[in-house]
Amino acid sequence: MNYRLPKSERLHADKLIKELFNEGSSFFLYPFKVQFIVKKDQGSGTSEVLFSVSKKKIKKAVGRNFVKRRMREAYRLNKGLIPSTAPAMCIGLIYVSSDLMEFSEIETKIIMALKKLASIVSEN
């Protein structure tokens, strides 16, 4: 299991981000809204992930960066829950709570979101 989160696994292309929000599917699992889209051009490969925290919900940049750091760490440690045989996809994890949560709470919610995402992708 590779516990790294290199740039190749982070969603940063504007075209893919627009496609994710315009054409992607989503589900809500408090405190996250999870957007995802299966990449059509690639078979199985690495999934790219986007982390977002609303400026409207958490006013100070310090708080937003704090939450994003926790989200990245929880994803990095648990990204193996998505099977390697699953098709490559773009995932957006949007934090919608206005409270700063503990790492353990964020990690359990990300684990639940990744399991749900894996089950949705395996059904298709």
For residue 107, the enclosing domain spans 7-123
CATH classification at residue 70: 3.30.230.10
Look at residue 118 and tell me if it is in a domain.
Answer: yes
Question: CA dist 46 to 6, 38, 56, 84, Å?
Answer: 11, 11, 31, 8
* pLDDT at 81 > cutoff 80: yes
Look at residue 25 and tell me if it is in a domain.
Answer: yes
Q: How do residues 18-46 score in pLDDT, each as one tens digit?
A: 999 999 999 999 999 999 999 877 656 78
Count of structural domains, the chain: 1
Global pTM reads 0.93
* 97 Cβ contact list (under 8 Å, min separation 6): 30, 31, 57
Look at residue 50 and tell me if it is in a domain.
Answer: yes
Look at residue 1 and tell me if it is in a domain.
Answer: no
